[in-house]
Homo-oligomer: A and B are copies of this chain.
Amino acid sequence: MFVQFTGATYSDALDRPGSAAGTIAHSGQIDTLLAFERIGARRSFTRNEEIFAEGDAAGCWFKVISGTVRICKLLVDGRRHIAEFFFAGDCFGLENTAERLFSAEAVGDVIVMRYPRLATERLIDDNPALARGLRDMTLRDLANAQMRMLVLGRMSAPERVANFLLDMLERRDATRALDLPMSRNDIADYLGLTIETVCRIMSAFKRAGAIDMPAPHRIEIRDRAALTAFSDA
């Protein structure tokens, strides 16, 4: 079955506070959201601009308002790894280390909200529901990371690409058509492959009639069953 790793949305975290945790009153959600709005600041970044760098002080976290963000790390010899992509509604950069272990960059033009960690900690200490929301979000991120480890550690190149396409479809709330905001290079570094391999496999999927690709960044699903079959055979 197709491995799913949907990004953690903050509103999701409040809407579905984990099965055992019970339900949060709707008014509570509004209050805490407003509380966050008050401590946040809007920022915008242009294509390939760095939002934070590896080694920066990790004094705040972010929520994507629009656009796509990539979290990545560069090895000394130039190899790059993309840990995750984040889309509108997703939160990123929440860490407990003093320094950033990864950098964050705008894939295209991006608008984010920036929240200071200290103020967030204060809000959380006074508000168990909010704390629970953030905790669930982090736990969801962790589960996604574990699924991604499975993909990177044990899946073949076609399985990785098929999984990626189905996952993107899911995360962008699409069923048939999809505009990929990231380059082939980004996809390769996300899947632990080379750009050539990603290209070849996408072309193969197209030849096999599983997808259509009117433009490099435009993907249309023609045979979802075939893709799903590819995704974990």
Contacts and interface: CB of A to CB of B under 8 A. Distances in A.
Interface of A: 1, 17-21, 59, 71, 73, 75-77, 79-81, 83-84, 94-98, 101-102, 117-118, 121, 124-126, 128, 131-132, 134-136, 138-143, 145-150, 152-154, 191-192, 232-233
A142 B140 contact: no
A190 to B, nearest CB: 8
Contacts of A102: 146
Tell which of A76, A96, A97, A118 has the most Cβ of chain B within 10 Å.
Answer: A96
Contact of A101 (B94, B135, B143, B191): B143
6 interchain residue pairs of minimum CB distance: A153-B192, A18-B96, A145-B145, A125-B128, A152-B152, A19-B98
A60 B148 CA distance: 24
Given A79-B154, A101-B143, A139-B95, A117 B233 contact: no
Contact of A81 (B96, B140, B149): B149
Contact of A146 (B21, B145, B154): B145
Nearest to A120: B20
B152 A101 contact: no
Nearest to A18: B96
5 contacts: A19-B96, A20-B118, A20-B121, A80-B154, A126-B128
A59 B20 contact: yes
A139 to B, nearest CB: 4
Contacts of A147: 101
A20 B98 CA distance: 8
